[in-house]
Structure 1
Amino acid sequence: MNNERESIVTIDVSNVETKNQLHLLLKEKLEFPDFYGENWDAFWDAITGLVSPLPKKIIFMGWSELEKNLPRDTKIMKECLRNYNNDFPSWKSEFLFN
């Protein structure tokens, strides 16, 4: 994200059917580096060190579809994002799951 935080990023997750697709989409939209490991440990490392801070607001469109397709992964991702806000209050982001 360079040094300036983008204010709002919208990520359409409505057509994501696999965990791999989700990680590739997150990598693209959140500008993770090429070496991003495409797993939840790598996601945590990316948001807390590689690309931090995240945009001020991230809107996930089609969240209910993603929850149906990937219930375990959506829980893990929400937990990572909640922990991000708790652990890094000066970088706090708003996450909307639409």
Structure 2
Amino acid sequence: MPRLQRLDIDLNAVTSTAELHATLREALGFPNGYGANWDAFWDAISGLVEMPVQLKFHGWDELATRLPRDARLLRQCLDEMKNQYPQLAAGVTFG
């Protein structure tokens, strides 16, 4: 199956860490046993699912205001993937 070219994730309705992880799990197709924490997110994106070529987050600035720690950790995971696994990482746009 070819790699998904673009995935848009709407973060506008996310108001908690649990909602953020649920949104990411559903959008990126994480397995049912996803642990809903940042270590589990890293494990999922770096080995359990195929990331899209392009990933666009909608409502990023609002999310970063509501959940600054989670926004920072999400960005760190995605940046780290780009550094460690550039051929597998998504090009990410924070909009």
TM, length-normalised to structure 1: 0.93
Structure 2: gaps of 5 or more residues: none
- Amino acid in structure 2 at the alignment position of 1:26: L
Is 1:86 the equivalent of 2:83? Answer: yes
1:38-61: CA deviation from partner (whole Å, max 9, x where unpaired): 00000000001111x310001000
CA RMSD, 1 decimal: 0.9
Is 1:17 the equivalent of 2:15? Answer: yes
Q: How does 1:68-87 map to 2 (within 5 A)?
A: 68-87=65-84
Q: How does 1:14-93 map to 2 (within 5 A)?
A: 14-51=12-49, 53-93=50-90
Aligned residues: 95
Identity in percent? 42
- Amino acid in structure 2 at the alignment position of 1:7: Q
Assess if the C-alpha contact under 8 Å between 2:78 and 2:89 holds in 1. no
Moved over 2 A (4+): none
TM, length-normalised to structure 2: 0.96
Structure 1: gaps of 5 or more residues: none
Which of 5, 8, 16 does residue 7 from structure 1 map onto?
5
CA distance in 2 between counterparts of 1:4 and 1:70 reads 34
